[in-house]
Amino acid sequence: MIDIADITKTFDKNTVLTGVSETIRKGEIFAIIGPSGQGKTTLLRILGLLEKPTTGDVLLEGKSIVKLSDNDPVRRRIGMVFQNPVAFKDSVYHNIALGLHYRGFGKEEIRERVLQKLDEIGLSGYEERKATTLSGGEKQRVSLARIMVTGPDILILDEPTANLDPVSTEVIEDLIRHYNKKLGTTVILSTHDLIQGQRLADRVAVMMNGHFIQSGTIFDVFTRPCSVDVAKFIGIGNILVGKVIRKEDGLSVILVHDVEIHAISNAPAGTNVRIAIRPEEITLHTGPDRWSSARNVIFGTIEAVKPFGIISHVNVKSGELTLSVQVTWQSIRELDLKPGVEAVLSFKAPSVHIMPEENGNECI
Amino acid sequence: MNDLLTGIQTAFLLILTADSEVLDITFRTLQITFSSVLISTIIAIPLGAIITFNEFWGKKSLISVIQTLYALPTVIVGLLCFMILSRSGPLGTLGWMFTPNGMVFGQTILIIPIMTGLTIAALQAIDPIITDTIRSLGATRFQFLKSHLREARFTIMAAVIIGFSRAISEVGTAIMIGGNIKGHTRVLTTAISLQTSMGNFNLSLALGIILLVIALIINLFMGIVQNR
């Protein structure tokens, strides 16, 4: 539906986008994730027709949309909601009706549509309220309704819940999902909240240094990060350097420091690789029983226990190798885990993700 | 002190008995001030919007000049208008010298800068996300301007009130262009000036109280509108 073709954007001498390309499909929820200050907002503003790219093009159904005049009707097919909820100094009713006034709808039809949207966002009866007195979450619901009442084909959301409490966030996410499923609206959103990306999106793209470093399904990106930077960003804790030393039972044996790790990989023996193991996929035991079913078993000593809310990160050192493991606080107490205690780590071969040895940040 | 008290008493008496001269002067003042505010509003608000939403060379300097003119002395406006409107001036053929029309002309020139400048400030104070939202909703150029003016309406209304206050309270232009002709161009401020110099403090005080009451009513009205 939307083809982004090698977009760059430079403000004065500051290059924000360094060449973004991607195809966004009709009816999907496409999430752009990435650390702050990497160009997510700028890209969305270009897609939302609020900014023009310095070079490159954006095609909507094959037609360029980067140079539309202010009065071009195609603009009305794309709506945008912003990070900071804003309301016009008017009633809630007028706030939601604004886009319909622009389109010249009749009074009756406006009324019908606005009341329906108020019902959808759970603010029925708020018509006459001053919109500026609403809470942040309510304002953001009104912002969403204000755009959706005009029936756009494409909805762009820039960090729509970044400033909201968890309850309001859930309401907004439910509405986004609702509009996507019920109306078939194509949704493009940015978020620094990885979990939100996973909850909402059909596909995600990771934006770093002004372009997409990796894009694909949630599963692809979150289980198979293409580079160390992506792996770090999506929170894979254990990133290690190793070398494939031999093949065994269809698996690759990778030497990391002085420990042999079994993994699934096509890399031939002798290849230098980076490996990543999600901390939550490693099991920690203290006794000798029942750890042997996994392919990789490592004996070590606990080096540190770092609390992270109800989950703690436990660092276990085996020779030169240190691995981080997630353990619930209950287990920490029951097993009396503390520095110096001997522990056994086990994880399966498919839990080990292989990435090529660092070749810059490029990997698409 | 006694003079002041009897003065205030007489002043209220003059107002309550609807003294014909006092009424005449008050009515003329309102007519002239409302006319100049109306004309200035029609010019200043669109002008402010055009300056705010267009990028052009010298924009910042222009805004600085407009802001400097907030303090434009009324006698300088009087002098300029005198030169423009006098028989040998460029607009001398209009014959507006020593007429209410001439006074409206002078007051309009006096308050356009402040009303334009405050309109610019009001529009610039709008949250940029509001601007983005308006564009994203698919507003045409005209709808874009209309929505911004609506969003800034309370601050712009304040700009109009300030223009009104400056116009109704100025004396320099009124006396130089109007000439303080009884029954023709005499307004509250010029009458106060004249009556005071003639020692008629009672009448001066009455006129002064009326001037203040008008300002009060306008501001109360403004407060009601803003709180709605």
Could you read off the pLDDT of A68-90 as tens digits, one per residue? 887 888 889 999 999 999 999 99
Q: What is the mean pLDDT of residues A269-296?
A: 79
Q: What would the mean pLDDT of A322-337 be, rounded to a whole number?
A: 86
Residue of B91, B120, B89 lying closest to B105 (CA atoms): B91
Residue whose entry in the numeric block shows the structure tokens 């009205």: B221
Residue A360's pLDDT is what?
A: 47
Give the pLDDT score at A221. Answer: 86
Mean pLDDT in order along chain B per 10 residues (228 residues): 76 83 90 96 95 93 94 91 90 89 94 96 95 93 93 92 93 90 90 90 86 89 78
Q: What is the pLDDT of residue A292?
A: 62
Most B CBs within 10 Å: which of A82, A148, A158, as the mutation test of the B interface? A82
Q: What is the maximum alpha-carbon separation in chain B?
A: 68
Q: What is d(CA A299, CA A313) in angstroms, rounded to the nearest whole number? A: 17
Q: Which among A186, A139, A189, A190 has a CA at the least distance from the CA of A164?
A: A139
For A83, A145, A152, B130, B136, the CA distances from A48, given in Å and listed in that order, are: 14, 17, 11, 15, 7
Name the pTM for this structure. Answer: 0.82
Q: Is the ipTM of this complex over 0.90?
A: no
Which of A41, A45, A70, A139 would you mutate first to test chain B, the one with the most B CBs within 10 A? A70
How far, in Å, CA of B100 to CA of B116, rounded? 24
Q: Kindly report the nearest CA distance between residue B53 and chain A, in angstroms.
A: 13
B129 close to A (CB below 8 A)? yes
Neighbouring C-beta atoms of residue A99, cutoff 10 Å: 28
Residue with tokens 């290059």, as numbered in its chain: A15
pLDDT of residue A267 exceeding 90: no
Cβ of residue A108 closer than 8 Å to a chain B Cβ: no
What is the per-residue pLDDT for A143?
A: 93
- pLDDT tens, A222-235? 888 888 888 888 87
Categorise residue A188: left if φ over 0, alpha if ψ from -120 to 50, beta otherwise. Answer: beta
Partner-chain contact A99 B143, CB within 8 Å: no
Give the integer Cα–Cα distance in Å for A109 and B81.
54
Query: Burial, A74: exposed, middle or buried (Cβ in 10 Å; 0-12, 13-18, 19+)?
Result: middle
Of A160-174, A249-263, B148-162, highest mean pLDDT: B148-162
**Residue A240's pLDDT band (cuts 50, 70, 90):** confident
What is the separation, in whole angstroms, between the first and last Cα of chain A? 21
Instruction: Please report which confidence band the pLDDT of residue A284 belongs to, taking 50, 70 and 90 as the band edges.
Output: confident
Dihedral over Cα of B216, B218, B224, B226: its sign: negative
User: 117-176 in A: which are within 8 Å (CB) of B?
Assistant: 143, 146-147, 150
Q: Taking chain B, what is the end-to-end CA distance rounded to the nearest angstrom?
A: 43
**A244-258 mean pLDDT:** 85
Of B137, B141, B153, nearest to A98 by CB-CB distance is B137
Q: Do B137 and A86 make contact, defined as CB atoms within 8 angstroms?
A: no
* Chain segment A94-152, per-residue pLDDT in tens: 999 999 999 999 999 999 999 999 998 888 889 889 999 998 889 999 999 999 999 99
Residue A287 reports pLDDT greater than 50: yes
* Contacts A51 to B, Cβ<8 Å: none
What are the start-end ranges of the E strands in chain B? none
The dihedral built from the CA positions of residue A202, A186, A4 and A206, taken in this order, carries a sign that is negative
The pLDDT score that the predictor gives to residue A278 is: 86
Q: Which two tokens stand for residue B80?
A: 């300029």
Q: State whether residue A75 sits within 8 Å of chain B by CB.
A: yes
Q: Does B125 touch chain A (CB under 8 A)?
A: no
What is the structure's pLDDT at A364? 45
Specify the pLDDT at position A223.
80
CA A180, CA B49: separation in Å to the nearest integer?
38
| Whole-number pLDDT of residue A275 | 86
Scan for tokens 């070590």, then name that residue.
Answer: A300
Q: What is the pLDDT of residue B1?
A: 60
pLDDT digits (tens, 9 = 90+) for A7-60: 999 998 899 999 899 999 999 999 999 888 888 999 999 999 999 999 999 999
- Say if residue A353's pLDDT is above 60: yes
- Using CB atoms and an 8 Å cut-off, which of residues 150-169 of chain B contact chain A? 150-151, 153-154
Query: Which residues from A are below 8 Å from B144, CB to CB?
Result: 70
Q: Which has the closest alpha carbon to A356: A248, A231, A267, A269?
A: A267
What does pLDDT average to over chain A? 87
